[in-house]
Amino acid sequence: MAGDRNKVQKCLKSNFLTIFTVAGVIGGGVLGFVLKSSKEEWTPREVMYVQFVGEIFLRMLKGLIIPLLVSSIVTAIGSLDLSLSKKIGFRAIAYYAATTCLAVLQGIILVNVIRPGEGGASHGIKRSGSSRNVTTVDTLLDLVRNMFPENLIQACIEQTRTNLTFKPDSPKMNASNLLTWDIELVNADGSNMLGLVIFAIVLGIAIGKMGEVGKPLLSLFASLGEAMMVITNWVIWFSPVGVLFLVSAKIIEMDSIRIVIGQLGWYFFTVLLGLACHGLIILPGIYTVFTQKLPFKFLINMTQAHVTAFGTASSSATLPVSMSCLEEKNKCDPRVSRFVMPIGATINMDGTALYEAVAAVFIAQVRNVPLTFGQLVAVSITATMASIGAAGIPQAGLVTMVMVLNTVGLPAEDVTLIITVDWLLDRFRTLVNVEGDGLGAGLVDHLSKAELRGMDEVDRQTGKMRNMSLAKDSGETEWLNSAL
Identify the pLDDT of residue 175: 54
Instruction: Output 297-300 pairs: Cβ under 8 A, ≥24 positions apart.
Output: 298/330, 298/438, 298/439, 298/442, 299/435, 299/439
Residue 42, classed as helix, strand or coil, is: coil
Identify the pLDDT of residue 431: 94
**What digits encode the pLDDT tens for the residues 79-118?**
877 778 888 889 999 999 999 999 999 999 999 999 888 7
**What digits encode the pLDDT tens for the residues 419-445?**
777 878 888 999 999 999 999 999 999
Identify the pLDDT of residue 375: 79
Q: Taking the CB of residue 77, how many other CB atoms lie within 10 A of it?
A: 26
- Bigger pLDDT: 314 or 390? 314
Type of residue at 51: Q
Identify the pLDDT of residue 261: 63
Give the CA angle between residues 338, 343, 348 to the nearest 5°: 130
The contacts of residue 204 (CB under 8 Å, 6+ apart) are: 73, 74, 75, 76, 77, 78, 85
Identify the pLDDT of residue 393: 44
Identify the pLDDT of residue 446: 94
Q: Which of 8-22, 234-248, 250-264, 376-390 reaches the highest mean pLDDT?
A: 234-248
Q: Poorest-confidence range of 45-54, 414-423, 447-456, 459-468?
A: 459-468
**Average pLDDT value over all residues in the chain:** 81
- Bigger pLDDT: 173 or 41? 41
Q: Poorest-confidence range of 50-59, 395-404, 427-436?
A: 395-404
**What digits encode the pLDDT tens for the residues 126-157?**
554 445 566 667 777 887 888 899 999 998 88
Q: Poorest-confidence range of 306-315, 337-346, 356-365, 372-381?
A: 372-381
Q: Does residue 118 contact residue 365 with C-beta atoms inside 8 Å? A: yes
Residue 183 pairs in a beta bridge with: 164
The CATH number of the structural domain formed by 2-483 is 1.10.3860.10
pLDDT band at 404 (very low <50, low <70, confident <90, very high): confident
Identify the pLDDT of residue 392: 43
**What digits encode the pLDDT tens for the residues 189-208?**
778 888 888 899 899 999 98
- Bigger pLDDT: 403 or 435? 435
Averaged pLDDT for residues 400-413 = 74
Identify the pLDDT of residue 432: 95
